[in-house]
Amino acid sequence: MPVEIRSLIIKATITESNEADPPDTPSAKPEDREVEDKEIIIANCVDQIMEMLKQKIER
């Protein structure tokens, strides 16, 4: 049975730092950050879909 998603809410928090990172501080690679961000987004989407399915079953 196919699952239809009628609404999807994506929340994000963006913070800016006024201080620049010192050159001696190792920072994460942009690719690592992208992978981590994608994993967080996917986890949130899965949680929301599971909640919607749970609500649909309860009806």
Tell me: the pLDDT tens digits for 2-59?
878 788 788 888 787 766 555 555 566 777 788 888 889 999 999 999 999 998 888 7
Instruction: Please tell me the predicted confidence (pLDDT) of residue 28.
Output: 60
Of 59, 58, 53, 55, nearest to 1 by C-alpha is: 53
The one-letter amino acid code at 50 reads M
Q: What is the pLDDT of residue 19?
A: 62
pTM (global) more than 0.85: no
First to last CA, the chain: 17
